[in-house]
Amino acid sequence: MLPASLSARLLGAPLTRLLAAAAMSAALAGCNFFPGEEEAIDPGEAERAAIVTGAFDAPGGARDLAFLPDADAPGNGLLAAASLQGGISVFNIDGREVISGSGPRLNGMAGTGGFPLRGETLPMIFAMDDAGALRAFVVVRAIDDVVELPLEGDIPGGASLCFFAEGIGYVDLAILGQGEEARIVRLSDAGGAGLQVRQRETRALPFPARSCAASPDGDLLVGGPTAGVARINASGDVRARTDRLPGSNITYSELLGRPVALMVSPDTGLMQVLDARNLDLIATVRFDAGLGAPGFNEPSALAVTDANFGGGAFAAGIAAAYDRGDGSLKLIAREVITRTVLAEDS
């Protein structure tokens, strides 16, 4: 954390100076020798086993996670964690905590590895705090700190948020309201004293949601702790819904071109992989111990990226889960998830 005097100067300064981050386990209920009358078994309900790729301690824990990839040097990509007691911790892919900053408790987290700020391209983290306010932070490796940036414009409050889209010079976020709605806002550097926030749309939801993920076609996957998961289009129409409860934040990915929604549960210790189009269950995955990496116990936060994070294991992307059972962050090569989920599904 920066000294109070330096933080005050940074927050009050223009951004230019401020910027000087399996088998099937089910069995037939009984013997039946009449063809076609066997009990139907959903292959998605059978557990499939995979191996954790790596793990490291997370001293502050993690309420939410966000990847900050580095397109120019994939091995320098970062993983940000919203610490359980407040503030942000930032880790490199080798598990070293490069930044530990105090601050508010954050709900929901979105990150980008390359946000344009006054001629610089820097990692940015966006989140909602416990009071429902939108916060924006820049990761400044030159001073190994996370510095909050001021915001101006149309700034909605909310309960949580997720990454929605990005383009040249902007990032779009989906902010989940306390009620049954989501607002899509655009953040950009418009040359003012802080980042410009502009609301683009309001989307009706079928229930109050506390986690979300966006698909490339603009649909929003939303999860409620007691309401299940739904897929909502831009008009607010429910395109798909399931009663499966998200044990943690829901995430979106594509496995060999197949759109999927992933979520983990601290109660079961398992990952569920749903078809992101109709929210049918594709597979349930149990992550066992790997070489020097313990298996899943109580995974309670999840992040996935298809960005290259360097090396052979993480070149096709990476997933990270915080395991509150042993206080560690566990990494899984995205390729491992692809092989495990789709090998028996093809």
Which residue in 182, 253, 183, 185 sits closest to 223, CA to CA?
A: 182
pLDDT value at position 344? 60
Q: Token pair of 336, please?
A: 């491992």
CA distance 222 to 251: 9
Domain spanning 4-21+44-342 has what CATH number?
2.120.10.30
pLDDT digits (tens, 9 = 90+) for 94-123: 999 999 988 999 999 999 999 998 888 999
pLDDT value at position 142? 87
Instruction: List C-alpha distances in Å: 253 to 15, 58, 89.
Output: 34, 24, 24
pTM of the model: 0.86
DSSP designation for 302: E
Q: Token pair of 40, please?
A: 């139907």
Q: Token pair of 291, please?
A: 């070489």
Domain range list for the chain:
4-21+44-342
Residue type, 157: G
Q: How many residues does the chain have?
A: 346
pLDDT value at position 129? 96
- Give the list of residues 6+ apart from residue 207 with CB closer than 8 angstroms, or none: 180, 222, 224, 227, 228, 230
pLDDT value at position 42? 60
| Residue 23 burial (C-beta neighbours within 10 Å; 0-12, 13-18, 19+) | exposed
Q: Which residues in the chain come in under a pLDDT of 50?
A: 1-41
